[in-house]
C-alpha cells in the first residue's frame, strides 16, 4: 500500500496542478477573464439565482387554446370532406372539445358519418367520438386520451421553445422545468431586465404569410360585408391603417423558416429570413403568381408588414421590414428562430431576486466555509500531531481546490444549498483520514513497526472508506436524478466533494505519509 510507481506519483502531482490551474479563473471577475488570452482556462463556477440575483417566473401554459384550435381545424375538415360529396349541412362550429353541425337532410346521416370516419386515422385508439343526435345534429368530440396527449405535447413543446428562446439570449445556466400539470418554471440568474424576458416569452410568435384582400375595404369589413374567406386584422404602426383585410388562407407558414437574423436595409433595422426547401418553393410560387399584389406578414394575428410584390422571389429568403428598433428586430429574430409556441403563456408568479441578497448569501457562505475549514484543520493538527495532521490538512486544501476545478469544468451552477454541500464535504473530507489514522494507532499500540502499522492501517481501512463514500455517492446521484433546482445544486457539490475526497484521502495523503516514512525512518509514529 505504501509503494508508488513513478507514473502514479506524477499522475497525482498532475491532477493537483490541473486542479489549481482550472480553479484559478474563479479568483477573477468575468470582465478580467475576458481581457485575458483565449488559450488560458477561463471557465468559472456559475452562480445560481439565489447568489447573483435574477428573475423568477412561473408561467401557465394555455393548453385549452390548443384543444380549441384542434377542434377549429376539425370544422375545416368537415367542410373539406362533406362539400365535395354533396352532403348539405349548416351551423358548423367548435366549442370546447366538441365540434358540431346540423345536417339539412337527415337521410344523409349514414353517408356523412361514413365520410367523417376519416378523421380517426388511428383505428385502435380513435381521437374522436362521432355521435348523431336528434334533429340531424352531429357532435364530434375529442376523446379524453387524445385531449391529454394533446395537452402534454403542447406543454413539452412549450418547454423546449422557452428553452430555445432563453438560450438565444445567451443567459448562463437558466433553470427551465415543468411544474405541476400545466406550468413552467423559469429562473434566469443575473438577468437585470426581467421585462425583456417576459416580452420574449409572452409572444406566441406564430408567423404566417397571407395575401391582402384588395377587393374588400376596411369600411366594408366593419359594416359586416366581410367575405367568408377573409378576415380583418390589426396592423402595426407605420402600415398606414389601423386594420387590414387579409385572406384567411395561409400561403406560407412560419414552420418552414430555418433562420432569421436582424440586419439593416436603407439604414433601418429589419429582419432577414430564410425558408427550407418546401417553404422556398411555396414562397416562390406565391410571389410569382401575385406580382403587384400585397403580401401580409402576420405575427400573432397582427399584420407587422404588408409589402408589395414587385417581382418573384425565388431564392427562398426575404426581409421583414416595419417600424422596428434594433432591440425589437433582434427580439423578433430570436422568436422566429426558436419557433412558435403551441399555446399562449401567462405569467402567474414573478419574483426578482436582488444582487444584494445574493452577495449576503455568498458572504455568509464564505464565512461558514472558512470557519469550518479552520476548525477542522486545528482539530486535526492538535489530535494527530504535526506529521499526520499536516498531511490531512494539505489533503483538505487540495480537496477544496479540486472541487472548485470540477465545478468550473462542468460549468455547474452553485446555489446556496450548493455552498452547504461544500461546507459539508469539508467535514467529510477528513473522515477517511480519521479512519486510517485511528487504525494506524491501533496497529502501533500492538507493537508493529511504523512502516507495518501504516501499511496495515491503509489496507484494512480501505474497504470501510470505499463503502462509506460509495453509499453517500449513490445518495447524491439519486438526489440529482429525482430532485430539481436547489436539491440538484446540493447533490452536485456533494458528489464532487465525495469524488475529490476519495482521491485526496486514498492517494494524496498516502503519498505524503509514505514519502515522510521513507525519508525520516522514525522509530515511533507521532500519531
Q: What is the pLDDT of residues 435-492, one digit of tens each?
A: 888 888 888 888 888 888 888 888 888 888 888 888 989 998 998 888 766 787 788 8
Looking at residue 104, the DSSP 8-state letter turns out to be S
Query: Contact 294/307 with Cβ under 8 angstroms?
Result: yes
Q: Which residues of 193-203 are buried (b: 16+ CB within 10 A; e: fewer)?
A: ebeebbebbbb
**Predicted pLDDT of residue 17:** 93
Asked whether 361 and 51 are in contact (CB, 8 A), the reply is yes
Q: Would you state the cell numbers that stand for residue 275, as one nine-digit string? A: 425558408
pLDDT above 70 (res 337): yes
According to the model, what pLDDT value does residue 165 have? 79
Return the pLDDT at 172: 57
> What mean pLDDT comes out for the span 92-104?
87
| Region of residue 428 (phi > 0: left; psi between -120 and 50: alpha; otherwise: beta) | alpha
Under the banding of pLDDT at 50, 70 and 90, the label for residue 173 is low
Backbone angles phi, psi at 483, to 5 degrees: -90, -175
d(CA 304, CA 241): 11
Q: What does the pLDDT read at residue 505?
A: 82
Quick one: pLDDT at residue 238?
A: 55
517: left (phi over 0), alpha (psi -120 to 50) or beta: alpha
Confidence of residue 394 (pLDDT cuts 50, 70, 90): very high
> Residue 356: which pLDDT band, with cuts at 50, 70 and 90?
low
The pLDDT value recorded for residue 170 is: 59
Over 90: is that where the pLDDT of 14 sits?
yes
Contacts 24+ apart (CB under 8 A), 244-247: 244/212, 244/218, 244/296, 244/303, 244/306, 245/212, 245/213, 245/216, 245/217, 245/218, 245/220, 245/221, 246/210, 246/211, 246/212, 246/213, 246/296, 246/298, 246/303, 247/210, 247/211, 247/212, 247/213
Distance CA 97, CA 93 (A): 11
Q: Which of 10-14, 70-74, 339-343 has the lowest mean pLDDT?
A: 339-343
Residue 433 pLDDT exceeds 90: no
- With cut-offs at 50, 70 and 90, classify the pLDDT of residue 334: confident
> Which residues have C-beta within 8 Å of that of residue 297, sequence separation ≥ 6?
207, 209, 303, 304, 305, 306, 307, 320
pLDDT for the residue numbered 327: 82
State the Cα angle at 410 between 175 and 171, rounded to 5°.
35
Least confident residue range of 4-8, 29-33, 42-46, 231-235:
29-33
Burial class (CB in 10 A: 0-12, 13-18, 19+), 260: buried
Q: For 298-327, what is each residue's pLDDT tens digit?
A: 888 888 888 888 888 888 888 877 777 888
Mean pLDDT of the region 422-438: 83
| pLDDT (average), residues 487-509 | 86
Mean pLDDT of 138-165: 86
Task: Return the percentage of the chain with pLDDT > 70, whole number.
Answer: 94
Given pLDDT bands bounded at 50, 70 and 90, which one contains residue 65?
confident
pLDDT at 196 over 80: no
The residue-averaged pLDDT of 104-118 equals 85
Cβ atoms of 56 and 350 within 8 Å: the answer is: yes
Mean pLDDT for the stretch of residues 256-277: 85
**Cα→Cα distances 218→212, 232, 309, 322, 357, Å:** 11, 8, 21, 21, 55
Average pLDDT, stretch 141-154? 87
**How far is C-alpha 36 from the geometric centre of its chain's CA atoms?**
30
Q: Is the pLDDT of residue 219 over 80?
A: yes
pLDDT by residue (tens digit) across 242-264? Answer: 889 998 888 888 777 888 888 88
**pLDDT > 90 fraction of the chain, expressed in percent and rounded:** 6
The mean of the pLDDT values for the chain is 83
Amino acid at each position: 500500500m505504501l509503494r508508488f510507481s513513478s507514473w502514479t506519483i506524477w499522475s497525482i502531482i498532475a491532477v493537483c496542478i490541473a486542479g489549481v490551474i482550472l480553479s484559478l479563473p474563479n479568483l477573477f471577475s468575468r470582465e478580467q477573464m475576458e481581457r485575458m488570452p483565449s488559450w488560458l482556462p477561463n471557465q468559472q463556477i456559475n452562480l445560481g439565482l439565489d447568489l447573483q440575483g435574477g428573475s423568477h417566473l412561473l408561467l401557465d401554459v394555455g393548453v385549452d387554446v390548443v384543444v380549441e384550435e384542434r377542434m377549429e381545424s376539425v370544422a375545416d375538415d368537415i367542410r373539406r370532406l362533406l362539400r365535395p360529396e354533396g352532403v348539405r349541412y349548416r351551423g358548423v362550429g367548435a366549442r370546447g372539445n366538441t365540434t358540431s353541425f346540423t345536417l339539412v337532410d337527415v337521410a344523409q346521416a349514414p353517408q356523412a358519418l361514413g365520410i367523417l370516419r376519416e378523421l380517426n386515422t388511428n383505428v385502435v385508439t380513435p381521437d374522436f367520438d362521432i355521435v348523431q343526435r336528434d334533429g340531424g345534429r352531429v357532435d364530434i368530440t375529442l376523446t379524453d386520451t387524445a385531449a391529454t396527449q394533446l395537452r402534454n405535447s403542447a406543454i413539452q413543446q412549450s418547454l423546449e421553445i422557452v428553452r430555445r428562446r432563453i438560450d438565444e439570449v445567451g443567459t448562463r445556466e437558466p433553470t427551465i422545468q415543468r411544474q405541476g400539470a400545466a406550468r413552467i418554471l423559469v429562473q434566469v440568474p443575473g438577468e437585470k431586465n426581467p421585462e425583456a424576458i417576459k416580452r420574449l416569452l409572452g409572444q406566441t410568435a406564430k408567423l404566417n404569410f397571407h395575401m391582402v384582400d384588395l377587393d374588400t375595404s376596411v369600411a366594408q369589413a366593419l359594416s359586416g360585408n366581410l367575405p367568408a374567406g377573409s378576415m380583418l386584422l390589426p396592423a402595426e404602426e407605420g402600415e398606414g391603417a389601423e386594420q387590414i383585410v387579409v385572406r384567411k388562407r395561409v400561403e406560407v407558414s412560419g414552420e418552414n423558416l430555418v433562420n432569421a437574423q436582424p440586419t439593416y436595409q436603407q439604414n433601418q433595422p429589419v429582419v432577414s429570413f430564410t425558408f427550407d426547401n418546401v417553404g422556398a418553393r411555396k414562397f416562390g410560387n406565391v410571389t410569382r403568381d401575385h406580382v403587384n399584389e400585397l403580401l401580409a406578414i402576420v405575427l400573432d394575428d397582427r399584420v407587422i408588414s404588408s409589402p408589395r410584390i414587385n417581382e418573384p422571389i425565388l431564392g427562398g429568403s426575404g426581409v421583414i421590414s416595419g417600424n422596428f428598433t434594433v432591440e425589437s428586430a433582434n427580439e423578433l429574430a430570436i422568436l422566429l428562430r426558436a419557433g412558435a409556441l403551441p399555446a399562449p403563456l401567462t405569467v402567474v408568479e414573478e419574483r426578482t431576486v436582488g444582487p444584494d441578497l445574493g452577495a449576503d448569501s455568498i458572504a455568509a457562505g464564505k464565512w461558514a466555509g472558512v470557519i469550518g475549514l479552520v476548525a477542522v484543520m486545528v482539530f486535526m493538527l492538535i489530535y494527530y500531531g504535526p506529521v499526520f495532521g499536516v498531511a490531512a490538512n494539505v489533503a483538505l486544501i487540495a480537496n477544496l481546490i479540486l472541487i472548485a476545478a470540477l465545478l468550473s469544468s462542468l460549468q455547474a451552477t452553485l446555489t446556496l444549498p450548493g455552498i452547504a454541500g461544500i461546507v459539508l464535504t469539508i467535514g467529510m473530507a477528513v473522515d477517511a483520514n480519521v479512519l486510517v489514522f485511528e487504525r494506524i494507532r491501533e496497529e502501533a499500540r500492538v507493537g508493529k513497526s511504523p512502516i507495518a502499522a501504516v501499511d496495515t492501517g491503509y489496507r484494512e481501512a480501505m474497504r470501510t472508506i470505499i463503502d462509506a463514500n460509495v453509499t453517500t455517492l449513490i445518495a447524491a446521484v439519486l438526489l440529482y436524478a429525482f430532485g430539481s433546482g436547489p436539491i440538484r445544486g446540493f447533490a452536485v457539490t456533494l458528489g464532487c466533494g465525495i469524488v475529490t475526497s476519495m482521491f485526496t484521502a486514498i492517494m494524496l495523503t498516502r503519498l505524503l505519509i509514505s514519502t515522510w516514512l521513507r525519508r525520516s525512518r522514525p522509530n515511533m509514529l507521532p500519531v
